[in-house]
Chains A and B, each alone.
Chain A
Amino acid sequence: MIATIQRPEIRSVDFCVDENIWGHRLYDEQLPHLAVLEFLGILGSNVDRPLRPQPEHGGAVTFKPQRQIRLRGLLFNNPYVESIAESAVSDDEKWKRWFECFRQGATGNGDEDMGYLRRSFSSFDDFAKTIELLRSSAFESRSNKRWSSKFVFPFGPDALYEDLAINAKGSMSNDRRFFARTGELLYLMLTRAQSGAELGDSLVERLFDSNAPMNRLVRVLQGAPQRVEEPKLTGYLPEARNSRFDRICDDWLSILNRDMPIYDALEHLIAITGLNMLLYFLERAKLVAGDDDPVEIVCEIVSKERTKIRALSGDSYQVNQGLPAKAVRVHVESVRLDARWSTNSQSCELQDVERLKLMRERFQWPPVDGVDEEDFTNKKPEELVDELVVNALARHAQHVGKIHASWSRAIGLSSRRLSRRTRYAPNDKLLKSIVVSIVKDRMQFDEFLAEVKSRYGLIIGDAEGTRLVSDKLVDQEELSENRNNLETRLVSLGLVRRLSDSCSFVENPFALQGDIEC
């Protein structure tokens, strides 16, 4: 049994169930790229000790996020810049009009005086063009999210900032809508990974180069960075060690070692992080629910012909979708198995007191002072457990229970293409990211498939799906056809070279030159 770190009291939650299982917290709306952005923010605030544990804070670390109000305002709260650039007036007039417009929309958090911009850009049109450029590379630039939740591409240390809610008066708060601490958990995971420190150094060197041209451009717009005053503490991650943490870390290291521009590596980092976090979510669920078998993800490789694998991967999706809720129920009910629950106390009353204490320790529930309209004082602990199961499942279904669906779609693992049912059908981007992280220079195709299964539980070919075949769920032939479909797909993506029947090699297009020659 791996050591679990004692959970600190988590304020602002009704009870701790999901938090005990997965940490505080995984959140469905924080898609993998947002998790990575949040992670980078924490890293950026800890460049002097990247991904090193901070024993003085227990299992957590502290950080001071940046807010960069000027930068984000210029990019995402500046809708008039195009129309002013296009208007047929003199350059002076354009600046004048724009300053006026921007001043009206300013939040009053250091974005009142933007005069410095004129000194940097020789014309207003240049300025407008720069804004357009940065917008075009932003994440979800076309989405209709509030402007304070849109993010510029992480070009460097000056481009990072935290998600905020900014109200009409300009006051800012963390409503944890899109930075819901999932990135904090990612930071903790990587800190607890065996090669965490190595990764931290590498990331700081590659990604936190304040002299990178695009970072300097961002800095021109933002000026001096704006940080929050008080350091913050990250959330809670239960396990001190987990092979999944090491997996993410090693995947990141190998992606960073490929011969590609760092900004391109980010895309693969995001996809592979999403996949690993999803697996963390499912694996934890399985473990807590008392199931020791590894997580299985049966993938259909979509091709022209419909195969039986489609139904099978749909089933596999359903099974995994059901895991977390099962874990929630088991976790709550397992309190009854605690030695203290069944201690034969002298009286029923004393035993109930002990049980209630135990529940409070475990779940921060029921509340000590019955502030809620509900009154718990009259209920037996046995009933309370049942009630907590109901409450926990209801809360779980709102967000945490949706993680599997929303993350697997976001990283391109699941799809409803050609079908009404959601199933696992990895898209080209994800496949490419997997190849980039697994294959150093080249690898025989069957070894690749075996590796894909052992790392990520993805079942594609017949050799990996022996269990499915022996359980008579599918013919071996269907699985090997599925495998062939993957091969064909990777060939057309330029990732596989075929020699003859049953012999092909997966090749990483971004292998370092030196690796191939030796």
Chain B
Amino acid sequence: MHNHTGLTQGLLALVPADGSSIGNQTLFERLRSQFPELTNELYWEVRDALVEQGVLKLGKGRGGSVQLAGVEVPPASAWVHFLRSYGPSSANLAMFDEHISRALDQAGVQPINLSAPLLEGMVSHVESNAPGAMLIAGTAGDGKTYHCRALWARIGGDPLHWAAKGNVKELCLADGRTAVFIKDLSELNGKESDLPLQRLESVVLGGDNSEIIILAANHGQILDRLRDLGRRQGRDHPLRKPLQERFLQAGPAPERLAVFDLSRSTSRQTLAEVAEAVAGHPEWENCQRCSLRSDGKICPIDENRRRLLGEADQGQLAHRLGDLVEIARHNGLHLPIRDLLALCSNMILGCSNKQYAKDNLLTCADVAKIQQGGDIGKASIYANAFGSNLPKRRASGRPVFKAMSSFGVGQESSNAVDGLLVYGKDDARLKSDFDCFVACDRIYGGTAAFYSAQDAYLEGYEGARLEGGASEFLAMLEDQRRRLFFTLPKGELGYPHWSMTVFCFAGDYLEIIEALKQQKPVSDTVRGRLVRGLNRVLTGLLLENEDRIFIASSGGFTQSRVSVLCDFETASRRQGGIGMAIKLDEETGQPRLDVSLAVGSGNSVIYDLTPIRHEFLSRVAGGAMPASFSNECLQDLLAFKAKLLRQTEIIKSACAVADDDEVGVESSGLSLNFIDVEPGGHGFSRPMTVRITE
């Protein structure tokens, strides 16, 4: 009996005091680490006794969990707990779907519903009686399984059958065919995938019309599996090359294989949808009757959710967040839905102080603590958006936070913004701006904690002089900058928000895309800046020309520092088929520079303008060169230059053949075009002839 008392107390100590639930398995294992002799039977005996006494009650769902009875639980806590399971904790890195369904079971709340953007296309593909197979490709977290399941349900499959064990599901269709679903290739080990792949091949290439195969897989996975299978069979697998080309958008998919690529579908809209689904979820209604936000108390969870919804700022926060996602996407980063969910979850629940919140994600039970501590600023949605509440290691494990932190918001700043934040409160000239941009937000802007740290910093108390003495204030300053990035009004000339990021010119970049989409001309300033940057890179001279592009060489390496020989000169604006045009790539939605050296297709060289390349050119045009990304982009541009030179070579040799007369002149003289620079920086090419006397 004595033993039981100890066990009972130990068990009770492990059940969360805030009334949230804990799973039996977890509880059992934790308890056993304290009581090694604990058996399963004993555990259940003790647990059931406690339930009978009314000390514990069973959690919602299938009874797999327990929670303390009689604790007054904030009304939305089950939901918040569930939302937390989407967040960037280490628990949900693998087997995400299972993790979420378990959490859903426990919480007993409505799930987060997201649309399946490609579902309609899939359904109509099945209904169209098109023979062959369907491949649902995408990154982990893109929602491949989600789509599969939705399709299964739409064409009449039984959800229970789906949830049962087994990776391959079959369903008889009305037209007599069998639909074969292969849920996830990654769950099949090694040779287990041979059979499904052989089935795929026979359906796609063998002309078997009795089945339609629906296969979900990662890009890399299916290519690898096909390669391995091909190797073992001593051949190049016939599906591999065409699929690879299709993935890279370099060629069509095989005729009888429809590819649905989910990794191409996330964008600003997806984020907006996810944010709406999370922040606008009906479960939040429960917060209305929560004591944590009564009597003028501020609940950071509730506050963050409202800000994400955009109730007060007309959606500016969500819009800027969308901008960031767009820029990241154009820089080649793919952010799967799962990551966007993690981002939204973290924005609402994140908290930089680990003492308040385990895993840096708040639960309702933590809110009271943070309120008592007067530290609501630690849960600022603006800092959470960049993952700065998370420890570095955990943030860098998630593509989305890696992407967000790569903008450098918080570290980057402008003099105007820093001046405002440091002196604004006391400086008469800045006061009105300060009140308008900082002080107006009493929760995350002008907080008491910020004012006192600011005073301490400005007054220069003893601590401020010491090394690292101002670190507290500086950390706050970073969070304030993050806040300003999201809250500065659009078009506020004194404080442009993009200059607080690494991508100072990202705003212009997005405008280029917008203009091209609406088939309007790109603004002259932006185009001029790009051309100036391009000329400076191509020649290595400080040129100011914006009307033409010099394709220059040094005679030797393209790499050489300065290139003073003008091989070719073309207009910076496409006219009559010659010159530079800025176009939109339909497939990627990205702008590209298209420099055409002669009339006719095949005479132009294309340079995809990613945000980072745009930034590089724009900064070169301004004369400043940040060391951080100079070399990378330079190599990239030099490759472009080499291609331009090669194209020039081709066009010139074509001209020489066409113009036979010139050859005679050529042999007695040699003409070189030097680029001369006027004092104002305007460059022009000056021909020089060398006579050959032999």
Which residues on A are within 8 Å of B, measured CB to CB? 116, 119-122, 126, 129-130, 132-134, 136-138, 153, 155, 213-214, 216-217, 219-220, 259-261, 263-264, 266-267, 305, 428-429, 432, 442, 444, 446, 489, 491-494, 497-505, 509-510, 516
Roughly how many angstroms separate A119 CA and B244 CA in the complex, as a whole number?
Answer: 61
Q: Do the beta carbons of B632 and A493 come within 8 Å of each other?
A: yes
Closest chain B residue to A129, Cβ basis: B674
Which of B276-284, B319-327, B683-691 touches A?
A: B683-691
Q: Do the beta carbons of B332 and A491 come within 8 Å of each other?
A: yes
Q: A155-B556, A267-B559 are in contact. Are A499 and B263 (CB under 8 A)?
A: yes
Q: Which residues from chain A contact B33 at a C-beta distance below 8 Å?
A: none
B198-224: which have CB < 8 Å to A? 218-221, 223-224
Roughly how many angstroms separate A154 CA and B530 CA in the complex, as a whole number?
Answer: 34
A137's partner among B247, B557, B639 (CB-CB below 8 A) is B557
Q: Which residues from chain A contact B140 at a C-beta distance below 8 Å?
A: 500-501
Cβ of B334 within 8 Å of any chain A Cβ, yes or no, is yes
Q: Which residues from chain B contact A120 at a C-beta distance below 8 Å?
A: 690-693
Q: Do the beta carbons of B554 and A220 come within 8 Å of each other?
A: no
Q: A259-B646, A260-B642 are in contact. Are A493 and B635 (CB under 8 A)?
A: yes
Cβ of B560 within 8 Å of any chain A Cβ, yes or no, is yes
Q: Do the beta carbons of B642 and A264 come within 8 Å of each other?
A: yes
Roughly how many angstroms separate A212 CA and B144 CA in the complex, as a whole number?
Answer: 57
Q: Which residues from chain B contact A509 at a C-beta distance below 8 Å?
A: 639, 643
Q: Which residues from chain A contact B565 at a C-beta distance below 8 Å?
A: 133
Q: Do the beta carbons of B247 and A499 come within 8 Å of each other?
A: yes
Roughly how many angstroms separate A504 CA and B223 CA in the complex, as a whole number?
Answer: 11
Q: Do the beta carbons of B690 and A121 come within 8 Å of each other?
A: yes
With both chains docked as a complex, state the minimum distance between the C-beta of A159 and any C-beta of chain B, in angstroms: 10
Q: Do the beta carbons of A499 and B670 come within 8 Å of each other?
A: no
Cβ of B626 within 8 Å of any chain A Cβ, yes or no, is no
A428's partner among B635, B646, B670, B691 (CB-CB below 8 A) is B635
Q: Do the beta carbons of A133 and B250 come within 8 Å of each other?
A: no
Q: Which residues from chain B contact A213 at a C-beta distance below 8 Å?
A: 670, 672
Q: Do the beta carbons of B556 and A137 come within 8 Å of each other?
A: yes
Closest chain B residue to A122, Cβ basis: B689
Q: Which residues from chain A contact B636 at a C-beta distance below 8 Å?
A: 492-494
Q: Do the beta carbons of B248 and A442 come within 8 Å of each other?
A: yes
B693's partner among A119, A136, A497 (CB-CB below 8 A) is A119
What 7 A-B pairs have minimum CB-CB distances, sorted nearest first? Answer: A503-B220, A137-B556, A500-B139, A153-B556, A503-B219, A499-B219, A494-B636
Q: Which residues from chain B contact A491 at a C-beta distance below 8 Å?
A: 332
Q: Do the beta carbons of B223 and A220 come within 8 Å of each other?
A: no
With both chains docked as a complex, state the minimum distance between the C-beta of B542 and any C-beta of chain A, in angstroms: 16
Q: How many residues on the B side are at the interface (Cβ–Cβ under 8 A)?
A: 52
Taking A137-B554, A220-B670, A510-B642 as given, write out 20 further A-B residue pairs in contact, using a Cβ cutoff of 8 Å, ordered by the A residue number: A132-B564, A133-B564, A133-B565, A136-B560, A138-B556, A155-B555, A216-B692, A217-B555, A217-B690, A220-B692, A259-B646, A261-B642, A261-B649, A263-B558, A264-B558, A494-B635, A497-B332, A500-B139, A500-B220, A501-B140
Task: Give the residue among B224, B263, B555 with the most A Cβ atoms within 10 A.
Answer: B555
Q: Which residues from chain A contact B646 at a C-beta distance below 8 Å?
A: 259-261
Q: Do the beta carbons of A501 and B220 come within 8 Å of each other?
A: yes
With both chains docked as a complex, state the minimum distance between the C-beta of A258 and any C-beta of chain B, in angstroms: 10
Q: A259-B646, A492-B612, A494-B636 are in contact. Are A136 and B248 (CB under 8 A)?
A: no
Cβ of B138 within 8 Å of any chain A Cβ, yes or no, is yes
A263's partner among B221, B332, B557, B562 (CB-CB below 8 A) is B557
Cβ of B633 within 8 Å of any chain A Cβ, yes or no, is yes
Cβ of B645 within 8 Å of any chain A Cβ, yes or no, is yes
* A-B CB contact pairs (8 Å), 28 listed: A119-B693, A130-B672, A133-B672, A136-B561, A136-B562, A136-B564, A137-B554, A137-B555, A153-B555, A213-B670, A213-B672, A214-B555, A217-B555, A217-B690, A263-B557, A264-B558, A305-B396, A492-B636, A493-B635, A499-B248, A500-B139, A500-B218, A500-B220, A501-B220, A503-B218, A503-B221, A505-B248, A509-B639
Roughly how many angstroms separate A493 CA and B632 CA in the complex, as a whole number?
Answer: 5
Q: Which residues from chain B contact A260 at a C-beta distance below 8 Å?
A: 642-643, 646
Cβ of B631 within 8 Å of any chain A Cβ, yes or no, is yes
Roughly how many angstroms separate A213 CA and B692 CA in the complex, as a whole number?
Answer: 11
Roughly how many angstroms separate A442 CA and B247 CA in the complex, as a whole number?
Answer: 13
Cβ of B629 within 8 Å of any chain A Cβ, yes or no, is yes
Q: Which residues from chain A contact B649 at a C-beta distance below 8 Å?
A: 261
With both chains docked as a complex, state the minimum distance between the C-beta of B172 and any C-beta of chain A, in angstroms: 32
Q: Which residues from chain B contact A504 at a C-beta distance below 8 Å?
A: 220
With both chains docked as a complex, state the minimum distance between the C-beta of B452 and any C-beta of chain A, in angstroms: 33
Roughly how many angstroms separate A263 CA and B263 CA in the complex, as a whole number?
Answer: 40
Q: A499-B220, A500-B220 are in contact. Are A129 and B670 (CB under 8 A)?
A: no
Roughly how many angstroms separate A138 CA and B263 CA in the complex, as a whole number?
Answer: 48
Closest chain A residue to B561, Cβ basis: A136
Roughly how many angstroms separate A217 CA and B692 CA in the complex, as a whole number?
Answer: 9
Q: Do the beta carbons of B219 and A500 come within 8 Å of each other?
A: yes
With both chains docked as a complex, state the minimum distance between the C-beta of B194 and any C-beta of chain A, in angstroms: 20
Chain B 656-691 interface 0/1 with A at a Cβ cutoff of 8 Å (1 = within): 000000000000001010100000000000001111
Closest chain B residue to A481, Cβ basis: B396
Q: Which residues from chain A contact B612 at a C-beta distance below 8 Å?
A: 492
Chain B 226-260 interface 0/1 with A at a Cβ cutoff of 8 Å (1 = within): 00000000000000000010011010000000000
Q: Do the beta carbons of B223 and A503 come within 8 Å of each other?
A: yes
Closest chain B residue to A138, Cβ basis: B556
B560's partner among A137, A497, A505 (CB-CB below 8 A) is A137
Roughly how many angstroms separate A129 CA and B673 CA in the complex, as a whole number?
Answer: 11
Q: A491-B332, A498-B332, A501-B220 are in contact. Are A136 and B554 (CB under 8 A)?
A: yes
Q: Which residues from chain A contact B221 at a C-beta distance below 8 Å?
A: 502-503
Closest chain B residue to A490, Cβ basis: B632
Q: Which residues from chain A contact B223 at a C-beta distance below 8 Å?
A: 444, 503
Roughly how many angstroms separate A428 CA and B643 CA in the complex, as a whole number?
Answer: 18
With both chains docked as a complex, state the minimum distance between the C-beta of A478 and any C-beta of chain B, in angstroms: 13
Closest chain B residue to A213, Cβ basis: B670
Q: Which residues from chain A contact B220 at a C-beta distance below 8 Å?
A: 499-504
With both chains docked as a complex, state the minimum distance between the C-beta of B640 and any C-beta of chain A, in angstroms: 8
Q: Do the beta carbons of A217 and B554 come within 8 Å of each other?
A: no
Q: Which residues from chain B contact A214 at a C-beta distance below 8 Å?
A: 555-556
Roughly how many angstroms separate A429 CA and B224 CA in the complex, as a whole number?
Answer: 30
With both chains docked as a complex, state the minimum distance between the C-beta of B656 and any C-beta of chain A, in angstroms: 11
Q: Which residues from chain B contact A134 at a C-beta distance below 8 Å?
A: 555
Q: Do the beta carbons of B635 and A432 come within 8 Å of each other?
A: yes
Roughly how many angstroms separate A493 CA and B610 CA in the complex, as a whole number?
Answer: 12
Q: Which residues from chain A contact B244 at a C-beta distance below 8 Å?
A: 444, 505
With both chains docked as a complex, state the minimum distance between the C-beta of B470 and any C-beta of chain A, in angstroms: 24
Q: A220-B692, A432-B635, A502-B221 are in contact. Are A263 and B556 (CB under 8 A)?
A: yes
Roughly how many angstroms separate A16 CA and B639 CA in the complex, as a whole number?
Answer: 45
Roughly how many angstroms separate A126 CA and B674 CA in the complex, as a whole number?
Answer: 10
Roughly how many angstroms separate A238 CA and B41 CA in the complex, as a whole number?
Answer: 78
Closest chain A residue to B139, Cβ basis: A500
